[in-house]
A = this chain, B = another copy of it.
Amino acid sequence: MPNLPAKAVVLLSGGMDSATTAALARQQGFAVHALSIRYGQRHEVELAAAHHVARSLGVAGHVVQTIDLRAFGGSALTAELEVPKNGAAVLGARASGSTSAVPITYVPARNTIFLALALAYAEVLGSADIFIGVSAVDYSGYPDCRPAFIEAFQHLARLATRAGVEGAPITIHGPLIHLSKAETIRLAGRLGVDLALTHSCYDPTPDGLACGACDSCRLRRKGFAEAGLPDPARYAT
């Protein structure tokens, strides 16, 4: 019997972090099954980026799952609110030193939902490994990007699944969790990830240019500046 590679489910948003995470999973010998979520985000162009990233990595599979978080409302990313620009949200929250300042771009329970869907996909595939590209360093202050959250989800996954019941516990991998954006960008370079294919902006122009001013654009630009590398993204400003 041929020695088939183990399967991993990788949450792939189309941004730099998830693209780098998918490349890491591949480097570790996993057959990568990418999962992208259409959740009513304004920046749906990132799903096209996810498609290009998945193809460039030669993934074993790519499923796009659709949910409608708009039915619940309540976030700038999914509702008809203005995306904060020029650091109104993230820099204000971080400069204050408060751990409770969560920016309004936070999507309720997003990573909980995404990991739950990844868990379902992993169970069906017979995969015991889920990868998510969260970072607790250069992030936007969301509670569901922290190591304790990842550990709690792993504990849940081991109780929630047939695999867990039958003794093959699922592992949640967050390989970027302690990396800064600049470190992730350098890692992507070493892994050969084409970051020109990735999309980060929360509020792109109709032509698909990045706004350059939202939290996500600011974190990306700061990361490239710190890494001393040119950012291949096309910006409106």
Which residues on A are within 8 Å of B, measured CB to CB? 63, 65-69, 71-74, 99-100, 102, 106-113, 115-117, 119-121, 123-124, 143-144, 146, 148-149, 152-153, 155-157, 159-162, 164-167
A148-B159 contact in complex given A74-B123, A120-B69, A123-B74, C-beta closer than 8 Å = yes
Instruction: Using CB atoms, name the residue of chain B closest to A164.
Output: B143
CB-defined contacts of A121 to chain B, threshold 8 Å: 72, 108
Judging by beta carbons under 8 Å apart, are B71 and A65 in contact? yes
Offer 30 A-B interface pairs, CB within 8 angstroms, sorted by A: A63-B71, A65-B71, A67-B67, A67-B117, A74-B124, A102-B162, A108-B121, A108-B124, A109-B116, A109-B117, A109-B119, A109-B123, A109-B161, A112-B116, A112-B157, A112-B160, A113-B113, A113-B116, A113-B119, A113-B120, A143-B161, A143-B164, A143-B165, A144-B160, A148-B159, A152-B152, A152-B155, A152-B159, A153-B156, A156-B156
Which of B108, B116, B160 touches A161 (beta carbons < 8 Å)?
A: B108
Minimal beta-carbon separation of A140 from chain B (angstroms): 12
CB-defined contacts of A69 to chain B, threshold 8 Å: 120
Q: How far is the CA of A106 from the CA of B119 in the complex (A)?
A: 14
Instruction: Using CB atoms, name the residue of chain B closest to A147.
Output: B159
Judging by beta carbons under 8 Å apart, are A124 and B73 in contact? yes
CB-defined contacts of A144 to chain B, threshold 8 Å: 159-161
Instruction: Using CB atoms, name the residue of chain B closest to A75.
Output: B124
**Which among A69, A113, A167 has the highest number of chain B CB atoms within 10 Å?**
A113
CB-defined contacts of A102 to chain B, threshold 8 Å: 162, 165-166
Q: How far is the CA of A146 from the CA of B115 in the complex (A)?
A: 20
Minimal beta-carbon separation of A7 from chain B (angstroms): 13
Q: How far is the CA of A165 from the CA of B108 in the complex (A)?
A: 13
Minimal beta-carbon separation of A35 from chain B (angstroms): 9
Minimal beta-carbon separation of A209 from chain B (angstroms): 30
Minimal beta-carbon separation of A183 from chain B (angstroms): 24
Q: How far is the CA of A1 from the CA of B108 in the complex (A)?
A: 28
Minimal beta-carbon separation of A54 from chain B (angstroms): 15
Q: How far is the CA of A69 from the CA of B116 in the complex (A)?
A: 11
Judging by beta carbons under 8 Å apart, are A119 and B123 in contact? no
Q: How far is the CA of A69 from the CA of B71 in the complex (A)?
A: 18
Judging by beta carbons under 8 Å apart, are B160 and A143 in contact? yes
